Amino acid sequence: MPKFKYVAMDSSGSEKEGIVEAASQTQAIAKIRSQDMFPTRVVEVGGGAKKAEKAAKSGMNMEIKLPSFMAKKVKAKELMVFTRQLATLVDAGLPLLRGLKILLKQEKHPALREALTGMGEAVEGGSTFSESLAQYPVIFDNLFVNMVRAGEAGGVLDVVLARLSEFMEKAEKIKNKVKSAMVYPVVVLVAAFGILAFMLTSVIPKFEAIFNDLLEGQQLPGITRFVIGLSNFVQSNGIVIVIGIAVFVFLYKMWVRTERGRFIMDKVGLNAPVFGNLMTKTAVSRFARTLGTLMSSGVPILQALNIVRDTSGNTVIAKAIQQVHDSVKEGDSMAMPLEAAKVFPGMVVSMVDVGEETGALPEMLTRIADNYDDEVDSAVEGMTSAIEPIMIVMLAVIIGTIVIAMFLPLIKIMGSVG
């Protein structure tokens, strides 16, 4: 009997590998599913190139596919529109396969078109919709796949797709608010450094020549000597400075990619004076909405916690969620490890505790997310209000220092001329 090597996800979200004997690949998939596992890759052992090609043509090969247009990543907004449209079509009573074909006709994004084509072929060949989604992990993450799988199991695929689109809409809304709050300080900083570089390389040298001609070797004020010295240093070592900045940025990015570096920077970000409050509220909102949406869709709590951990976007929050997962796995409540993590506010811990006691945890998590969405709005406004005066003072100090440094010798020159 042929043997099939598989990679599958168990009920806790962990990846498992193994070999199963079956008459065909379809039976192998059925055996794996009977063990409460979701296969993501099933390949016949020693089947040869011809068998693999035949399996691929039949649409039964479970090997994960990556789009040829992977460089052109599907944006969250495009995926959100696709999910909303598919939810509408399924809710209207159209078969899933027909809905995929309708969306394929109007889709313009090349990667999404390729995914829709492959998913349609997989569904037509007998695969479930969640299995076809899992073949395109670049586009559809674990959150998307697991929610669809739960919707299929409960017969509420249209409801789950609607929840997914709503989840993505709210997540994108929060993301855009945070981005818009960061635009102003970034623009001001770039303008400030641009003006400073222009004055140090173009304006200050001309003033230095004037001072040397008119003051005939007289000593300049200390602040003027400092500015002129800085200008000379920038002109003489401009290339070295640019290379040094590039090397620093490269080393910083490499360090942040390490587990320890990422954890330290995430922790610093959550405790930062101006940005920390916003980052914490954004992370809490994302955690609550993702977990609430998964549980409402029927995803088991342990599997949902694993998905939330992997999609949290913050290693400090991910570590706290892992502690919650371990506690729940041992039969304890979520509230105690949430409080012990010292990341989540007391109100969140209390509401989770109440939700567990009343059996309405998904609804309570959704309320927490809605509340913290409003808190993010307030935090964005507060951060913008705090940044504006800081930026104004910073620009005033930089430009004011240069102006004063240049005007002090000019006053001396005008006095001597008078």
Pairing of strands 15-21, 3-9: antiparallel
What pLDDT score was predicted for residue 12?
62
Assign 45 to helix, strand or coil: coil
What's the chain's average pLDDT? 80
Crossing angle between the packed helical segments 361-417 and 157-198, to the nearest 10 degrees: 10
Q: Locate 220 and state its tokens.
A: 């300049």
Residue 136 is classified by DSSP as: -
Assign 3 to helix, strand or coil: strand
**In CATH, 164-418 is 3.30.565.10:** no
**Which of 67-76, 195-204, 365-374 shows the lowest per-residue confidence on average (mean pLDDT)?**
67-76
Q: Locate 80 and state its tokens.
A: 């959100």
164-418 matches 76-140 in CATH topology: yes
Residue 200 is classified by DSSP as: I
What pLDDT score was predicted for residue 40?
65
Residue 122 pLDDT > 50: yes
Q: Which of 205 and 5 is assigned the larger pLDDT?
A: 205
Q: Using CA atoms, how far apart are residues 250 and 237, in angstroms rounded to an integer?
A: 20
Q: Name the β-bridge partners of 6.
A: 18, 42
Q: Using CA atoms, how far apart are residues 168 and 269, in angstroms rounded to an integer?
A: 24
Confidence of residue 4 (pLDDT cuts 50, 70, 90): confident
Span 76-140 CATH architecture: Up-down Bundle (1.20)
Assign 69 to helix, strand or coil: coil
Q: Using CA atoms, how far apart are residues 137 and 146, in angstroms rounded to an integer?
A: 12
Per domain, the residue ranges of the chain are 3-58, 76-140, 164-418
Residue 189: what are its φ and ψ, rounded to 5°?
A: -65, -45
Q: Using CA atoms, how far apart are residues 208 and 244, in angstroms rounded to an integer?
A: 27
What pLDDT score was predicted for residue 417?
66
Pairing of strands 38-44, 3-9: antiparallel
How many other CB atoms are there within 10 angstroms of residue 18's CB atom? 12
Q: Please name the residues in contact with 145: beta carbons below 8 A apart, sequence gap of 6 or more.
A: 130, 133, 134
CB 7 within 8 A of CB 15: yes
| Helices assigned H by DSSP within 92-217 | 96-106, 110-124, 129-134, 142-154, 157-198, 204-215
How many other CB atoms are there within 10 angstroms of residue 123's CB atom? 18
**Which of 105-109, 142-146, 319-323 shows the lowest per-residue confidence on average (mean pLDDT)?**
142-146
Q: Using CA atoms, how far apart are residues 400 and 257, in angstroms rounded to an integer?
A: 39
Residue 247 pLDDT > 90: yes
How distant, in Å, are the alpha carbons of 195, 209, 228, 239 from that of 233?
Answer: 17, 16, 9, 11
Q: Which of 202, 275, 200 is nearest to 231 (CA)?
A: 200
Q: How many residues are there in the chain?
A: 418
Q: Using CA atoms, how far apart are residues 346 and 272, in angstroms rounded to an integer?
A: 19
Q: Span 371-388, mean pLDDT?
A: 80
AA letter at 21 = E
What pLDDT score was predicted for residue 246?
93
Whose structure tokens read 């669809």? 148
AA letter at 170 = K
